[in-house]
Structure 1
Amino acid sequence: MLNLSAPVLKEIELLHDAGLSVGAIVAVLRLKFPVELHDREDKKIEEAVLLMSNPPRKAPSLSR
């Protein structure tokens, strides 16, 4: 996963909550944070957006 700044992560969260698609979120991020994302591949940004919007679930603990 990409190492993204707190403002970018917050923006992903807000855009996801607003119901935007992954592609739309990537486009907005590219426009809003051009300096931070200029050398990042769209595929890597999409992965980060997907992980932010659908974080991996923890396995349930079997201890009692």
Structure 2
Amino acid sequence: MPPKSEAQRRLMQAAAHDPEVAAKTGVPVKVAKEFADADPGGKLPKKKKGPSQFALPRDRKGKP
């Protein structure tokens, strides 16, 4: 599975190479290594901008 963000990529790389980081963050070393191996590298795709698909409906006055 490719990373969703640069922060996720850095976390998984750190957890894959340092068991202490893995224990501190709760990420199993095995999972982090699999994730790091599957990461193709390069730039991540740009995030879409726009309304969230999980946005809460609003009433007519704009209040939640």
TM-score over 0.5 for the pair: no
Query: Which structure dedicates a bigger proportion of its chain to helix?
Result: 1
TM-score using structure 1 length: 0.31
TM-score using structure 2 length: 0.31
Tell which structure's C-alpha radius of gyration is larger: 2
Higher relative contact order (CA 8 A, sep 6+): 1
